[in-house]
Amino acid sequence: MPQKLLLLLIFGIALTQLSACKEDKVPIDSLQAIINNNSNLSPFDELIACAAGGQKDFMEDAQFPVSMFLKPHHLGITDLRYYETEKGTDDPNDLALFIEKDLADEPLLNGFLHRFKLPLPTEDKWARVSYIANDTLWYCKAVRLKYVEKPSEYAPQLFSVDTTEPLSPIFEWQDGEVKENVIYFQVISDQAGNAISGTYTYDLNFQFYKLNNVVLNVTHPDWSPQLSPNETYNFILMGVSDDNWVNLIIDGSFRTE
C-alpha cells in the first residue's frame, strides 16, 4: 500500500476513534444523550420554564423548597423529564452537563402548568426540563436555581386591582426587594382552579383581556377568555429574571360585578 494512502487510512481511523471517544463522554442520563438517542425527533429549545424557591407562606415546603415550573405548549405531552448540572459554575450551554433527576411532576391549575418539586439544594446550579410532543423533543433554556443566593419573595401586598370596568379589570403591581425582573407572568383562574388566561408583559400592569402590552400570550389558542359577572377569580404573578429565576410571587383574588 502506498505510504500516502496508508497515512490517510490511519488518520481516518484516528478521527473515527476520537469521535467515538467524544460520544462515550456524553453521560447516558444527560439531556444531550436524550437528544442524541432521539435522532428521529427535532430538538427545539422553546419550552417555557422558570424556578422559584425560598418564599414564605406560598407553596412553602421544608422538604421540597424549590419548584421548577413549566408551561406546556401542547396537549398530550409525553416523556417529561427534569435535569440539573452538578455545580453552579458549570457551562449552562453544555447540554451534556444537565443530568436527569428522578423526580415526578405534578399538574397545576388543572394541567395549565406543571411543576417539579425539588429537594433542598446545597448550592445554586442550573436546571432544564424536556418533553416530547408532535415529533419534537422540546426543552427549555437554562434556568438558574438561586435558592441560596436570592430566595424568591412572596409579596401579595404589592398587588392591586381596579375593577372600574368590572369584566376587564386592571392589575397593577410593584417590584419586590430584588430589582432584577425582566418580564412578568400573569395567570387568571376561576375558583375551580381552571386557568382562563396566561400572559407575559414587560410592564408592571395588565388589563384583562387587552393584549396591547402583552409580549407573549400563552393562553390556549382555542380559548376565548372572558369573565362572568358576580364571580370571584384568582390572580397569580411571577416576576422573572433573565436567567429564568422567579424573584417575586404575588397572588390575590378579585370579584366582578
Digitized pLDDT (tens) for each residue of the chain, 257 residues in all:
555 554 444 554 544 554 444 456 899 999 999 999 999 999 999 999 999 999 999 999 999 999 999 999 888 899 999 999 999 999 999 999 999 999 999 999 999 999 999 998 889 999 999 999 999 999 999 999 999 999 999 999 999 999 999 999 999 999 999 999 999 999 999 999 999 999 999 999 999 999 999 999 999 999 999 999 999 999 999 999 999 999 999 999 999 98
**Cell numbers that stand for 183 in this block:** 418580564
Same fold, 27-145 and 153-255: yes
Q: What is the pLDDT of residue 234?
A: 98
Q: Burial of 72 by CB count in 10 Å (0-12 exposed, 13-18 middle, 19+ buried)?
A: buried
Reduced 3-state DSSP string for 174-207 = CCCCCCCCCEEEEEEEECCCCEEEEEEECCCEEE
Percent of the chain that is helix, strand, coil (3-state, to 5)? 15, 40, 45
* Grid cell locating 64: 421540597
- Specify the pLDDT at position 4: 55
Which pLDDT does position 17 carry in this prediction? Answer: 52
Identify the CA nearest to 92 among candidates 242, 229, 251: 242
Class for the domain spanning 27-145: mainly beta
Every domain of the chain and the residues it spans: 27-145, 153-255
Transcribe 114-168 into DSSP letters. Answer: EEEEEPPPSS-EEEEEEEEETTEEEEEPPEEE-TTTS--EE-GGGEEEE-SSTTS
Query: 153-255 architecture in CATH?
Result: Sandwich (2.60)
Backbone angles phi, psi at 5, to 5 degrees: -65, -40
Q: Which residues contact 19 (CB under 8 A, 6 or more apart)?
A: none
| pTM score | 0.89
